[in-house]
Amino acid sequence: MNLTGPENAGSPGGPTSPERWKWAEVKVLISTEDLQARIGELAVAITADYRSLRPVLVCVLKGAVFFLADLARKLPFDLEMEFMAVSSYGQSSESSGVVRILKDLDTDIEGRHVLIVEDIIDSGFTLQYLTRSLRTRNPASLEVVTLLSKTARREADLVCRYTGFEIPDKFVVGYGLDYQERYRNLPYIGVVEGIG
């Protein structure tokens, strides 16, 4: 097995070549330190609102995994975590408006305070679909926290209670966000040259 790291990748190759996965190509947009500081601020606001409500945090896979993990560990009160997988992009870098539930909640949310945890809102179609779908299950409340928001790209009508960062209309990767399943494990939010 060849475990050569991306920094040692060979000469340029096709789209699946390790050459396409050079960390050096990723320009930092939001540093690890800035991410953690802002998540700390969001946690303070969420704690003030939810401390006594034992909310259900619904993580939208896969992109929101690191955000959920870091946010939840900064929330010093009783809560539950659930996971949903919703596909909106497939292999394209553009939102199609077509949303599919790939994995549903494992629990009944009727009468519960639900907080959807998203990594990014772009067109807003994913969350519009998700909030409509979850609302039919009669939660006591339903709100959204997103780490990133591209307000300039919004097409769907939706309300997001907590937003980490408003970002420009660039294709971003890292901290859970991917380009064709790559870059999710970068510890910061970055922009890859030549994508988007």
Residues annotated catalytic, as ranges: 122
Structure tokens at 193: 């040259």
Question: Binding to ligand PRP by residue 146, rule CB under 6 A?
Answer: no
Residue from 58, 122, 147, 175 that binds ligand PRP (CB under 6 A)?
A: 122
Least distance (Å) between residue 8 CB and ligand PRP: 27
Residue from 35, 46, 117, 123 that binds ligand PRP (CB under 6 A)?
A: 123
Q: Of 181, 189, 141, which is closest to residue 161 (Cα–Cα)? A: 141
For 72, residues 6+ apart whose C-beta sits below 8 A from its C-beta are 57, 79, 81
E strand map for 56-196: 56-61, 80-87, 100-103, 113-121, 141-149, 162-166, 172-173, 189-192
Question: Binding to ligand PRP by residue 124, rule CB under 6 A?
Answer: yes
Least distance (Å) between residue 176 CB and ligand PRP: 7
Question: Which is closer to ligand PRP, CB of 54 or CB of 132?
Answer: 132
Residue with the shortest CB distance to ligand PRP: 63
CA distances (Å), 82 to each of 10, 41, 57, 79, 85, in order? 41, 22, 6, 10, 10
Stretch that binds ligand PRP, among 5-13, 22-30, 61-69, 159-167 (CB under 6 A): 61-69
Question: Binding to ligand PRP by residue 87, rule CB under 6 A?
Answer: yes
Q: Are 145 and 118 in contact (CB under 8 A)?
A: yes
Least distance (Å) between residue 147 CB and ligand PRP: 10
Residue from 21, 89, 171, 188 that binds ligand PRP (CB under 6 A)?
A: 89
Give per-residue burial for 160-196: e unless 16+ CB within 10 Å, then b.
bebbbbebeeeebbbbbbbbeeebbebebbbbbeeee
Residue from 43, 68, 119, 134 that binds ligand PRP (CB under 6 A)?
A: 119
Question: Binding to ligand PRP by residue 189, rule CB under 6 A?
Answer: no
Q: Are 61 and 83 in contact (CB under 8 A)?
A: yes
Least distance (Å) between residue 65 CB and ligand PRP: 9
Contact residues: ligand PRP, CB under 6 A:
60-63, 87-89, 95, 118-126, 178
